Amino acid sequence: METKGNGNAASGRMVIDSISKSYGMGPLRQKVIQDCSFTLEPGKLTVLIGPSGCGKTTIINLLAGYEEIETGSISIDGKPVKGPGGDRLVVFQETALFPWMTLMQNVTFGPRMRGGRNSREIEGDALSLLQKVGLGDFRDKYPTQLSGGMQRRAELVRALINSPRVMMMDEPFRGLDAMTRELMQEYYIRLFEEHRITNLFVTSEIEEAIFLADRLVIMSYRPAQVRTVMEINLPRPREFSMLTSKEYLQYKKDALEILHEEAMKAFSTGTATCVADFLEAYSEIEEKK
């Protein structure tokens, strides 16, 4: 396993340039993303935050190549993004570990698919990563035998072992209880600070966002646009004690003001939201067929 100082720390610059996306047909057609632009700097952790239902998951799907953008462009290290690829890995909301594979089989899935290395080497890498997140003894368990927090950690490892240029986390800790969530943030930030892979982290929790971020991208309500970009200049390694520092609280206050405005907008356009949410969910189902 490549860790510190691999090629990824220097690469993984992702440029998102005025992308748009709509869902629905005819008069029901709604713009979900409009002229959205931001940049993921190499080796930095960018957090995308916005009111719930603003299309954050859609942005992940576009960046991962699961869905196609209508206008604009997405490029990674200068090359345009086309379809899903191993250079951009997604950790999904809730768990997407394959239930029929043991933890070890899940984690080694990526390296096995790419081929080129023998399985003993791959398993060695996987085991050392699993041990790092406290899952060494669970290598032969199935995902359903693990707790929610363990599943998310396993999922982090499953992405990380592939040394992607960019890792995209779609509200990965949603649905966990507060204690587990805090623990997961700690595991995650340690892994990030050690590997320095370019990361995009999507969340709707402001405290989590500022604690993790080098750069905070605040989204507007639908159609989603970049409202503000904030550089978070808190020192690394991050510690939970920073949550009481003056700088942290100032960032939080600034971000909250903007988010509050957007949330109010979202609230006042309630009906339109329902339609848009429905359309988005529906188009996902359609795609599945």
Partner 1 sequence: MSGRNKNSNSLGKLGKSIFNISFYRGVVAIIASLIFWEFAARVHLPVIGMIPAPSAVAGSLSSLIFTGYYWESWYVSFERVFSGFVMAQIIGIPVGLLMGMSRKFRDLGFPILEVLRPIPPLAWVPASVIFWPTPQMSMVFVTFLGAFFTTVLNILGGVSNIDIRYIRSARSFGASNKDIFWRIVLPATLPSLCTGMTVGMGITWEVVVAAEMIASRSGLGFLTWRSYVAGDYPVIVIGMISIGIAGYISSSIIRLLSGRATPWLKII
Does position 144 interact with partner 1 (CB under 8 A)? The reply is yes
Q: How many CB atoms lie within 10 A of CB 174?
A: 14
**CA distances for 217 relative to 55, 63, 133, 140, 238, angstroms:** 13, 15, 28, 39, 19
- The minimum distance between CB 145 and partner 1, in angstroms, equals 6
Tokens linked to 204: 């709707």
According to DSSP, the β-strands at 215-219 and 226-231 are: antiparallel
Q: Say if residues 93 and 174 touch (Cβ distance below 8 Å).
A: yes
Q: Which residue from 110, 149, 172, 223 is in contact with partner 1, where contact means CB under 8 A?
A: 110
- The minimum distance between CB 280 and partner 1, in angstroms, equals 14
Q: Which residue from 99, 134, 136, 237 is in contact with partner 1, where contact means CB under 8 A?
A: 99
Does position 66 interact with partner 1 (CB under 8 A)? The reply is yes
Cβ proximity to partner 1, 4 vs 289, nearer residue: 289
Residues numbered 256 to 285 that lie near partner 1 (CB under 8 A) are 284
Q: Which residue from 98, 249, 264, 275 is in contact with partner 1, where contact means CB under 8 A?
A: 98
Does position 145 interact with partner 1 (CB under 8 A)? The reply is yes
Amino acid letter, residue 73: S
Q: Say if residues 127 and 106 touch (Cβ distance below 8 Å).
A: no
Angle in degrees, 0-180, between the axes of helices 246-268 and 270-288, rounded to the nearest 10: 90
Does position 85 interact with partner 1 (CB under 8 A)? The reply is yes
Q: Which residue from 88, 153, 181, 195 is in contact with partner 1, where contact means CB under 8 A?
A: 88
Q: Which residue from 22, 142, 205, 228 is in contact with partner 1, where contact means CB under 8 A?
A: 142
Does position 89 interact with partner 1 (CB under 8 A)? The reply is yes
Number of residues that bind partner 1 (CB under 8 A): 28
- Specify the DSSP class assigned to residue 243: G
Sheet strand arrangement including 198-203: 88-91, 166-170, 198-203, 45-49, 215-219, 226-231
Does position 187 interact with partner 1 (CB under 8 A)? The reply is no
Q: By CB under 8 A, which span of 26-34, 137-145, 255-263, 265-273 interacts with partner 1?
A: 137-145
CA angle 195, 196, 200 (to 5 degrees): 120
Name the site residues for partner 1 (rule: CB under 8 A): 64, 66, 83-86, 88-90, 92, 96, 98-101, 109-110, 113-114, 142-145, 162, 284, 287-289
